[in-house]
Every structure is written in structure tokens, then in C-alpha cells.
């Protein structure tokens, strides 16, 4: 490309006010309808990844706290929640959904401050989708018999749920809403780096008047999560997070009668054929990998582009990347926010080094990065082969590997040649080709001519090391039910 006269006209800062949310100095556990101090008296600090400033302190729950929470959940299940009519149960969930909606601006700002994701995404995607999950499952609460005719669906009891840091409130909604709708009670743990919106949600649920013990929050680290997983009186574990932790949980549950769903990592293929609407495919590649800083389990992190258009697609991709704004998550014009934690930032850097050492060609967009905070430029790796580590392992950052292919059979083989199988994307203008390819991809979610689209009515989940069980839709009710 020739001359570049950037910044003839640039966008002035347009920060969303952080005043809409009153963040407390510290947040306690929520057990049996009360906000209580952790039995150890310990709190841990939560930081804003954008400026590394301390936001608040979060209660560090231990085994004892988990036991109290499970006992409260069991008691609530036995005495109240399982006795309540399903329509009444639905009413509570609708109420939570409406109250979340009323406080959506506050939740969006809190989510961006705590996780580093852009206000555009938390405002337009995370929070509205989270509300919609509650609305959607509230509707199912009194229709379970119709959902599974003749199968007599029954609730399980106490559900233990462990939430990741990439979509803190949204993933919580994915788990809480179906659990409550099916008549279970909940003990939930947010990720240690992103507990804030869960704490606000606890306040909302408290205010909604949900009977004491139906919903309990025990915040903390991995040991807190382990205490939930290993508690003998929990009937069901739902976990979203890394494959490594997922394996530990599955081992721990072997031989017990606890039900389990795991939503783990991914290395999803995004496949662009030469007859695709190319400019829209480029847009889809960008949304697929740079959405939420690439901290997306279903991110389209492996791009497969047909060899005869590869040069063109890469040129367009680089140009498009140049208009992505990296910076303050609270600025309404920011496209890519801050990497969630120092630890994750370092993991990504490690992979960049591996990629370069393996001989792939790295390209980073020439964007301005703020001096402080965990920021990184969107990154491409070209000349990548199936055998490269960066094409095999989940990086969980704004890093895309690009491989080329020649034929349909070849790309299907390569896309499936992965220990993961969470999602995939296919781009082609030809309907028959789209159906042929999508039906042969071993991935839980396959998008055609779009990427990273979510809806409460659509089930989500993986194959192979990406986990099992489905969240969302009618399918999302099943893990929380037993049948005659």
C-alpha cells in the first residue's frame, strides 16, 4: 500500500461515565439469603486490568463457607423451592430478569471496569444477552412437562456452578437461569479476577426476594471451586473454563452420582471459500477472533482460507485491523479492551514467542496502545501449518493463525484434526457447499456466513476436549433434570 495519511480526522474520547455504578470497598459472600463475612476473615483484591488499579476486595470463601452454602441450598430446596409451583418459580426468574434490565447500564460499566472488556460489548452483548437468558428460562419454568412430554422431568437438588472470567455475568446467567427454572438451588463461584457483577447480581436477587438459600455465592480461588466440586451433597456440577481444570473436575467426580457438564476450551476453525462474500467474511474473521480480546472459548482462532484468495483476504484483513481501536474499555469507540489479567497477558506473550520460534510470520496492527495496563495489538500469524503449536493450542487472546487450503475435503479434515470441537464458521455464497461442509464439521456450534452469534434459544457446547452437555435452548434444561 502507498502513503497512509492516518488521523486526518480521529474520534475524540467518548468515555462512558463510571459514576453509574457505586462499587463498594468490599463484597461479602451471599449465603442463605444474607451477606456474610468469610469464615476465614480473608478477602482478596480485585484489579481493573485497564489501569491496574485496585477496584475492591472480595470475600475469599473456603471449604467451611461452601459447606454452609450447600447446606442452605439443600434446606431451601427441600423446604421451599421444590415445593413451590412452577409458575411461581417462573415469576421470580422474570423478576430477576427485569431488575437486571433496569440496572443494565450499571452492570455494563461494572463489567467493563472489572474485566477489561469494551463498554460497547458489555452494553450491547453481555448484559442484554444475560437478561435474555433469564427471560428465556423463566418462560420454561412452568412448561417442563411440555418440553419433555411423557418423561416426567424432575429437578436434581443442589447445583454447584463455576464461572469463567471471560463473560462473567453472561456465563453466570447461562447457568443460574436454567438451574432455577428447573427447580434446583444454586451454589455458585465467580472467577477470582471478575467477581464484581456476580456480587451485584447477588444484590439484585436478594432484592428480588428469592427465598433464602435458593441462590448462594461463594467467591474465591480454585480451592473454593474444588470445595464445591467435592462437596458430597451437591447433585450437579456445571463448569465453564479451561480444559485442564475440566479434566481435574471430571476425575474428581468419577464414581459419584453427580451430574456434570463441562464447557471448556476451543481452537475453532473459521473457513473462507473463494466464493465467499469476501468483505463480509473479513468482517466475520475480525468478529471471530478479536471479539472480547479473543477471550472467547468459541473464538475463530484458526482461519482457513482458500489458497487462491489468501493474499487478497490477508490484505483486506490487515487494512480492517488498522481501524480497530485498542484502549480504554470504557470509551464507547474502543473495539478491543484490556487483556483480562497480567497472567493471561503473559500466557499470550509466551505463545507469540512460540509462533515466531516456529517460523511463522507475525503481523500486528499498527495501533496506538495505552502506556499502562494489559493491552496488546491484534495479531496475525501467517504461513502457519497444522503441526505448529500455535495452530493446536488455545491461546485465548487476540491472536489469529492463518492456514491455506486447496479443496473442500482437505479443509474438513484439517478443521476436524484438533483435540477441540467447540465451534466453527463457514463462509461461502453457495448454499449446497455450506450444508455439505457444516454437516461434516465435528463442532458444537457451526455458523454460516457469520460468527459469534448467540441467542438464549440456541444450544451451545462442544465435542471432544471442548466438553460435553449443552447450555441454552431446550437442550440447556436437560443437564438440570432427571427423568423417569
**What residues are annotated to the active site?**
263, 297
382: contact with other proteins by CB under 8 A: no
429: contact with other proteins by CB under 8 A: yes
Grid cell for residue 32? 442463605
281/380 with CB nearer other proteins = 281
17: contact with other proteins by CB under 8 A: no
Region of 12-20, 102-110, 211-219, 343-351 interacting with other proteins (CB under 8 A): 12-20
Site string for other proteins, 237-266 (x = CB under 8 A): ------------------------------
CA distance linking residue 194 with residue 267, whole number of Å: 23
Q: From the list 82, 333, 347, 392, which residue makes contact with other proteins (rule: CB under 8 A)?
A: 333
**What is the closest distance, in whole angstroms, from the C-beta atom of residue 307 to other proteins in the complex?**
9
Site string for other proteins, 300-329 (x = CB under 8 A): --------xx-xx--x---x---x------
Q: Which residues share a beta bridge with 215?
A: 186
Region of 182-190, 226-234, 252-260, 281-289 interacting with other proteins (CB under 8 A): 281-289
**What is the closest distance, in whole angstroms, from the C-beta atom of residue 189 to other proteins in the complex?**
34
274: contact with other proteins by CB under 8 A: yes
Region of 104-112, 149-157, 274-282, 365-373 interacting with other proteins (CB under 8 A): 274-282
147/278 with CB nearer other proteins = 278
| Interface with other proteins in residues 107-126 (CB under 8 A) | 120, 124
284: contact with other proteins by CB under 8 A: yes
**What is the closest distance, in whole angstroms, from the C-beta atom of residue 320 to other proteins in the complex?**
8
277: contact with other proteins by CB under 8 A: yes
8: contact with other proteins by CB under 8 A: yes
Site string for other proteins, 126-145 (x = CB under 8 A): --------------------
Grid cell for residue 325? 481501536
| Interface with other proteins in residues 448-477 (CB under 8 A) | 449-450
**What is the closest distance, in whole angstroms, from the C-beta atom of residue 122 to other proteins in the complex?**
13
**What is the closest distance, in whole angstroms, from the C-beta atom of residue 8 to other proteins in the complex?**
4
**Binding residues vs other proteins (CB under 8 A):** 1-14, 120, 124, 274-281, 283-284, 308-309, 311-312, 315, 319, 323, 332-333, 429, 449-450
Amino acid at each position: 500500500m502507498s502513503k497512509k495519511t492516518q488521523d486526518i480526522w480521529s474520534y475524540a474520547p467518548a468515555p462512558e461515565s463510571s459514576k453509574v455504578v457505586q462499587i463498594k470497598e468490599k463484597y461479602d459472600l451471599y449465603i442463605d439469603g444474607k451477606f456474610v463475612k468469610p469464615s476465614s476473615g480473608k478477602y482478596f483484591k480485585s484489579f481493573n486490568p485497564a489501569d491496574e488499579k485496585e477496584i475492591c476486595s472480595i470475600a475469599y470463601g473456603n471449604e467451611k463457607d461452601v459447606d454452609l452454602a450447600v447446606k442452605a441450598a439443600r434446606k431451601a430446596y427441600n423446604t421451599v423451592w421444590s415445593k413451590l409451583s412452577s409458575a411461581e418459580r417462573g415469576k421470580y426468574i422474570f423478576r430477576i430478569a427485569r431488575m437486571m434490565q433496569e440496572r443494565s447500564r450499571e452492570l455494563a460499566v461494572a463489567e467493563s471496569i472489572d474485566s477489561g472488556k469494551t463498554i460497547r460489548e458489555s452494553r450491547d452483548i453481555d448484559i442484554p444477552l444475560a437478561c435474555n437468558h433469564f427471560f428465556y428460562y423463566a418462560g420454561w419454568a412452568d412448561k417442563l412437562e411440555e418440553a419433555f412430554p411423557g418423561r416426567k422431568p424432575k429437578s436434581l437438588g443442589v447445583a454447584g456452578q463455576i464461572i469463567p472470567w471471560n463473560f462473567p455475568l453472561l456465563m453466570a446467567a447461562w447457568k443460574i437461569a436454567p438451574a432455577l427454572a428447573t427447580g434446583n438451588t444454586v451454589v455458585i463461584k465467580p472467577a477470582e479476577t471478575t467477581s464484581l457483577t456476580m456480587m451485584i447480581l447477588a444484590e439484585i436477587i436478594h432484592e428480588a426476594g428469592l427465598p433464602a438459600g435458593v441462590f448462594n455465592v461463594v467467591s474465591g480461588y480454585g480451592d473454593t471451586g474444588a470445595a464445591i466440586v467435592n462437596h458430597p451433597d451437591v447433585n450437579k456440577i456445571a463448569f465453564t473454563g479451561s480444559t485442564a481444570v475440566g479434566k481435574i473436575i471430571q476425575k474428581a467426580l468419577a464414581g459419584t452420582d453427580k451430574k456434570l457438564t463441562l464447557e471448556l476450551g476451543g481452537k475453532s476453525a473459521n473457513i473462507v471459500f473463494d466464493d465467499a462474500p469476501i468483505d463480509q467474511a473479513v468482517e466475520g474473521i475480525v468478529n471471530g477472533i478479536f471479539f472480547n480480546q479473543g477471550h472467547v472459548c468459541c473464538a475463530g482462532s484458526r482461519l482457513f482460507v482458500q489458497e487462491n484468495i489468501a493474499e487478497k483476504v490477508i490484505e483486506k484483513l490487515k487494512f480492517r485491523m488498522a481501524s480497530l481501536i485498542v484502549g480504554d474499555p470504557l470509551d464507547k469507540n474502543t473495539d478491543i479492551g484490556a487483556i483480562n489479567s497480567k497472567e493471561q497477558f503473559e500466557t499470550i506473550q509466551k505463545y507469540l514467542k512460540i509462533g515466531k520460534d516456529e517460523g511463522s510470520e507475525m503481523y500486528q496492527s499498527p495501533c496506538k496502545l495505552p502506556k499502562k495496563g494489559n493491552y496488546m495489538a491484534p495479531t496475525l500469524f501467517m504461513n502457519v501449518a497444522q503441526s505448529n503449536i500455535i495452530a493446536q493450542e488455545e491461546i485465548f487472546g487476540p491472536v489469529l493463525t492463518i492456514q491455506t487450503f486447496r479443496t473442500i475435503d482437505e479443509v474438513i479434515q484439517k478443521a476436524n484434526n484438533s483435540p477441540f470441537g467447540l465451534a466453527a464458521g463457514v463462509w461461502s455464497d453457495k448454499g449446497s457447499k455450506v450444508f455439505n461442509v457444516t454437516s461434516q464439521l465435528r463442532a458444537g456450534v457451526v455458523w454460516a456466513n457469520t460468527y459469534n452469534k448467540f441467542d438464549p434459544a440456541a444450544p451451545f457446547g462442544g465435542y471432544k476436549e471442548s466438553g460435553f452437555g449443552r447450555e441454552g435452548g431446550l437442550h440447556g434444561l436437560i443437564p438440570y433434570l432427571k427423568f423417569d
